[in-house]
Structures are given as structure tokens and as C-alpha cells.
């Protein structure tokens, strides 16, 4: 089942509201997404029909196990992209959140995993850090010796050498 970006946003909003309030109502979702209550009502009905949420008119909204699984996946993608944009690209958090919300719907999980691996590498490589210098762009942190490598880089180089044999 492929959901529209809009319906995915509703699932993510429901999940986030439930995390904070332990229960969600249509008005909470309308406020969170800045949409009209009638839009929420229509979206909720579609999500009920797809067995992703439990909801009756004027009642609380809960996620089904499948709805929870999909929502957690969306939240994970959002967090990965937001982290990438703020940590690697030095983008302010508001812009990073907006961008993450836009692309989380179109990037497949296996590509997101590459972003995660890159973020992990950036955090582990003591020589790999970059910083944004206004007017100049990205600059690598200074390396004292051309041959300096962190353990992550050395290990990767050794794996590459073994695989070439």
C-alpha cells in the first residue's frame, strides 16, 4: 500500500501527538499540521479504511500496529534527514525540518541507510569533520600529517586492500 505524502504526514503527526499527549484528537492533528478540521476528518477516514488508525467521530485517535510501524519509519527518516542537514550541511533547524519533511516521503529506506552510515562515519572519523565557513563553504578540519587517518579510515582501507586480493 502506497500512501500519499499528505497521508504520511497525518500518520506522523498522530504518532508525534500521541507521544506527547498519550492520545490524539482531530483538533490536535489540525493544529499540528495547520489544516482545517474538515481536512483532518477526510484523512482520518482514509487512514481508518487502510487499517492504520482506530477512530470514531468525536473520539480519540490511536494507531494500529501497522500504522505505528509506518509512523515510526517516517519519524526515523525525518530525524535522519534533519540530522544530516544540521550536522553535515550546517543548515538551521527550521529549514532542516522543512526539508526533511519534504524528502522523507520520496527517498527509499536503503538510501536513507546510506545517509545514516555517512553520519556515523562523520561522527567517528576524527579527521573527517567539516565546518561551514560563511562566504567560503565547507572546510575540512586541519590534518597535521597527510598520512594521518582515524581508525575508521584505516579499517576501511584494510578491507579494501583485502577485497582486491
Spatial distance between the Cα atoms of 98 and 34, rounded to a whole number of angstroms = 14
Position 10 pLDDT exceeds 90: yes
pTM listed for this prediction: 0.77
**What pLDDT is recorded for position 118?**
82
Averaged pLDDT score across all residues of the chain: 85
Q: What is the mean pLDDT of residues 48-59?
A: 93
How confident is the model over 106-163, as pLDDT tens digits? 999 999 998 898 888 777 766 655 555 566 555 555 555 555 556 655 666 666 667 7
Rounded to whole angstroms, the Cα distance separating 84 from 62 reads 30
Q: Where are the beta strands (DSSP E) in 1-149?
A: 53-54, 62-63, 130-133, 137-140
Name, in order, each residue with C-beta under 8 angstroms of 127's C-beta and a sequence gap of 6 or more.
Answer: 140, 141, 143, 148, 149, 150, 153
Q: What domains, with CATH codes, occur in the chain?
A: 5-70 (1.10.10.10), 125-165 (no CATH)
Encode pLDDT of 106-116 as tens digits. Answer: 999 999 998 89
Give the span between the Cα atoms of 149 and 162, in whole angstroms. 18
Paired with 137 in beta bridges are 133
Amino acid at each position: 500500500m502506497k500512501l500519499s505524502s499528505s497521508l504520511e504526514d497525518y500518520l506522523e503527526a498522530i504518532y508525534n501527538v500521541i507521544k506527547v499527549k498519550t492520545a490524539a484528537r482531530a483538533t490536535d492533528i489540525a493544529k499540528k499540521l495547520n489544516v482545517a478540521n474538515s481536512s483532518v476528518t477526510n484523512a482520518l477516514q482514509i487512514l481508518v479504511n487502510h487499517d492504520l488508525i482506530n477512530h470514531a467521530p468525536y473520539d480519540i485517535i490511536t494507531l494500529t500496529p501497522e500504522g505505528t510501524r509506518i509512523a515510526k519509519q517516517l519519524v526515523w527518516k525525518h530525524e535522519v534527514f534533519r540530522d544530516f542537514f544540521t550536522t553535515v550541511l550546517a543548515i538551521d533547524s527550521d529549514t532542516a525540518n522543512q526539508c526533511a519533511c519534504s524528502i522523507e516521503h520520496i527517498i527509499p529506506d536503503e538510501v536513507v541507510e546510506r545517509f545514516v552510515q555517512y553520519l556515523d562515519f562523520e561522527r567517528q572519523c576524527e579527521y573527517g569533520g567539516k565546518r561551514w565557513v560563511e562566504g567560503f563553504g565547507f572546510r575540512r578540519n586541519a590534518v597535521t600529517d597527510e598520512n594521518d587517518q582515524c581508525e575508521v579510515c584505516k579499517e576501511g582501507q584494510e578491507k579494501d586492500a583485502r577485497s582486491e586480493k
